[in-house]
Amino acid sequence: MSKSYRPPADIDIWDAENVFYLKSHPSRLAKLLSHYEIYKQVQGLPGAIVECGVYKGASLTRFASFRALLENDHGRSIYGFDAFGAFPTAGVQSEADQEFITQFESAAGGGIPRSDLEDALAVKGFS
């Protein structure tokens, strides 16, 4: 099975949700709950949310969803930083670093292209 990025339009949302709950390890829900608890701690405080390493966009989308549910869509800025695609290899000199990149991409695939993430967030009404 390829782990490369697939645009959400290619996946039926109801099937995806059911498969997520039926097949995912409880740690996946723990991650969602952890992000929710972290967001609640900053609720009402000034400042932006910054994610360094967006990867496939799931966490960034979760934080935007929490903002919409707990505050409002424009109450705080959310910034995501990433290479948006393949893991950057320019300037990688260490054999260990190159091996990490190779293993990471083999196991997890590439990140979401920036334009696809922007489109997905726009469909959800997030700006």
Instruction: Domain ranges for the chain, please list them.
Output: 10-123
- Predicted local confidence at residue 9, as pLDDT: 67
- Predicted local confidence at residue 2, as pLDDT: 42
Give the Cα separation of 12 and 76 in Å (integer).
31
Of the candidates 25, 30, 49, the one whose C-alpha atom is nearest the C-alpha of residue 126 is 49
Q: What is the helix (H) or strand (E) element at residue 108, kind and residue range?
A: helix 95-108
- Predicted local confidence at residue 97, as pLDDT: 94
The whole-number average pLDDT for the span 19-27 is 95
Residue 44's alpha-carbon distances to 34, 59, 60, in angstroms, are 18, 20, 19
